[in-house]
């Protein structure tokens, strides 16, 4: 956790139905929290960007968790629309071209690539055509995210320390 301010190590998920409820929660937490995740449920509610802007104006950080997944040009334009709003993180959940498009337009927004949704089980992965085991899939998706220019990845809690060591070894420059 070195380099991350103590007050920013906790990201509070604003998983509520309305922006009014989200504002009330932020106000109730006061200085106890400084970083907020604003996801898809609130995106579909009225006032999403007004809420994001309000949180940023309060001096807090925002993690836009929308898991962009669309054709690369649409992902690129969506990420470009986040720039200049004071957003710290945004998520993308897609293939190499989608991740590259997001990374290309990120500006000051850090892009987190989602490796595998936590709700997916082995049956879901089989249905989607992923025949490898979960660890191999997560490792592959994390490696590809870093190669695509994403800033980090969001992964299922499967042997995280082992995964980090593997990714670091893969990205380490080879010495001849």
CATH code, 66: 3.20.20.70
1 lies in some domain: no
Tell me the two tokens of residue 152: 């980090």
Q: What is residue 132's DSSP assignment? A: S
174 is catalytic: no
| The pLDDT value given to residue 159 | 47
Non-local CB neighbours of 5 within 8 Å, separated by 6+ positions: 34
Catalytic residue (one of 67, 104, 110, 166): 67
Detail the DSSP E strand segments found in the chain: 11-13, 35-39, 61-68, 89-92, 110-114, 152-154
Q: Can you list the residues of the chain whose pLDDT is less than 70?
A: 1-3, 116, 118-120, 154-176
* Paired strand residues for 152: 112
In the block, residue with structure tokens 């992902």: 75
| The pLDDT value given to residue 119 | 64
How many domains does the chain fold into?
1
Structural domain for 27, as ranges: 6-171
69 lies in some domain: yes
Strands 35-39 and 11-13, sheet pairing: parallel
| The pLDDT value given to residue 166 | 60
| The pLDDT value given to residue 70 | 94
The answer to whether residues 122 and 75 touch, using CB atoms and an 8 Å cutoff, is: no
120 lies in some domain: yes
| The pLDDT value given to residue 176 | 45
The answer to whether residues 110 and 79 touch, using CB atoms and an 8 Å cutoff, is: no
Residue 144: closest CA among 108, 105, 92:
92
21 lies in some domain: yes
């Amino acid at each position: 956790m070195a380099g991350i301010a103590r007050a920013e190590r906790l990201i509070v998920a604003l998983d509520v139905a309305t922006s009014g409820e989200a504002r009330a929660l932020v106000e109730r937490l006061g200085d106890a929290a400084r970083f907020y995740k604003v996801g898809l449920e609130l995106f579909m509610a009225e006032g999403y960007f007004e809420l994001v802007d309000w949180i940023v104006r309060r001096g807090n950080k925002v993690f836009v968790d929308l898991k962009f997944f669309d054709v690369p040009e649409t992902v690129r334009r969506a990420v470009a629309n986040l720039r200049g709003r004071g957003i710290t993180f945004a998520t993308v959940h897609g293939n190499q071209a989608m991740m590259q498009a997001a990374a290309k337009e990120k500006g000051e927004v850090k892009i987190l690539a989602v490796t595998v949704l936590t709700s997916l089980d082995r049956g879901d992965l089989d249905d989607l055509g992923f025949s490898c085991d979960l660890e191999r899939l997560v490792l592959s998706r994390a490696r590809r995210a870093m190669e695509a220019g994403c800033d980090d990845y969001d992964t299922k809690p499967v042997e995280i320390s082992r995964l980090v060591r593997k990714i670091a070894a893969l990205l380490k420059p080879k010495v001849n």
